[in-house]
Amino acid sequence: MKILSTVIVGAGVLLAGTIQAKDVYRFGGGPSGGGWHPAVSAGTQLINKELKGKNFKFQYQPTNGSVDNVRRVGLGGVSTAWGHVVQSYQSWNGVGLFKKDGKNRDFRVVANVKNQTQIIAVLDRSPIRTFSDMKGKVVNLLSKGSGSNVNCENIFKGLGLYDKIKPKFLGFAASARALGDRQVDVFCSAGAPFIIPALTELSIRKPVRYISMSPAEQKQLTSKFKFYAPKTIPVQKDVRGMKEPALSFSYPVFWYAHKSMSDEAIYEMLKITAKPANLKKLASTAGYWRTLNGDFSSLVAYKMLVHPAAARYWKERGVNVPQEIVKGY
């Protein structure tokens, strides 16, 4: 089943043979205040601007984040979107948050976006210095449906603290405002890779600090959750109040496409966005684009597949794409 929209181009009397129809592929983004919202919106605009003579176009679609994106791409609710490897693996195998959904393999990976880290932050004047200090405190774990929420919950459950905190589930922008207004004590979010816009903006008015995991806590989490790798977040000059590095973990974000997309549409959207000059333009607007690449090596272990049209593009760019993970439907 091909799930997409159709836009009628042209004017006048609707006569057979005089109408040109353009397929519209919806590009899922993210929630307001997060890094994906402006990044994907900018990418969609650029793709449409540079598509010439093609019988399709793209439309930006706001979403609730990674969980929502992976589920929508798998079902064809959006044609293409970014998502955390954790959720895509769960959807592919029908486990975790996608156990009730069952296995869904109606999507393919088309690009490696970047590695994200997980940020835990407090106001600089807060007495909270460690994770143990968060017991009894109000901790925002972001809204349900976002990959960040999954990672935040994994942290506190993995450290045995989930039943000792007072969880909130506000979105990116709302949680930053709540931290600034002292309605929540702790802010948890994905970083892109080391900052999130809503928190960085708050720090201009009210300085914030990143809470570092201890080496033991970092090892405990990366051992328990195999998708996570140890990572140290360096001091971010744009985040006022951050004076020391913070131990955290990282995980990959991939770009996915539903089987309803044509090979040509996938090839063209990659050709436009991954063009070095265009990546530079996009990165100046949203840093997520800066690291877009064709490294699919980790997918061999996950046994997830790359779309043939994407493999063709990246091979033309000189990337070695493992042939065993390239497959159509």
The amino acid occupying position 181 is: D
pLDDT tens for each residue of 35-56:
889 999 999 999 999 998 899 9
CA distances from 79 to 75, 89, 314 (A): 9, 18, 20
Domains of the chain (ranges plus CATH)?
Answer: 5-113+254-325 (3.40.190.10), 116-251 (3.40.190.10)
Q: Report pLDDT for 16.
A: 40
Strands 20-28 and 56-61, how do they pair? parallel
Q: At 270, is the secondary structure helix, strand, or coil?
A: helix
Q: Report pLDDT for 20.
A: 53
Q: What angle do CA 121, 114, 215 make, to 5 degrees?
A: 45
Q: How is residue 18 written in tokens?
A: 């005089």
Contact 40, 72 (CB under 8 A): no
HEC-encoded secondary structure of 184-212 = CCEEEEEECCCCCHHHHHHHHHCCEEECC
Share of the chain above pLDDT 70, in %: 94
Helix (H) or strand (E) holding 28: strand 20-28
Strands 186-191 and 138-140, how do they pair? parallel
Q: How is residue 5 written in tokens?
A: 């929209």
Question: Going residue by residue through the chain (329 aa), what tens digit of pLDDT does each one get?
Answer: 444 544 434 444 333 443 456 899 999 999 887 788 999 999 999 999 999 889 999 999 999 999 999 999 999 999 999 999 989 999 999 998 899 999 999 999 999 998 889 999 999 999 999 999 999 999 999 988 778 899 999 999 999 999 999 999 998 889 999 999 999 999 999 888 899 888 999 999 999 999 999 999 999 999 998 889 899 999 999 999 999 999 999 988 999 999 999 999 999 999 999 999 999 999 988 888 999 999 998 898 889 999 999 999 999 999 999 999 999 99
Residue 206: burial class (beta carbons within 10 Å; 0-12, 13-18, 19+): middle
pLDDT tens for each residue of 181-219:
999 999 999 888 899 888 999 999 999 999 999 999 999
Q: What is the rounded distance in angstroms from the CA atom of residue 100 to the CA atom of residue 276? A: 41
pLDDT tens for each residue of 217-243:
999 999 998 889 899 999 999 999 999
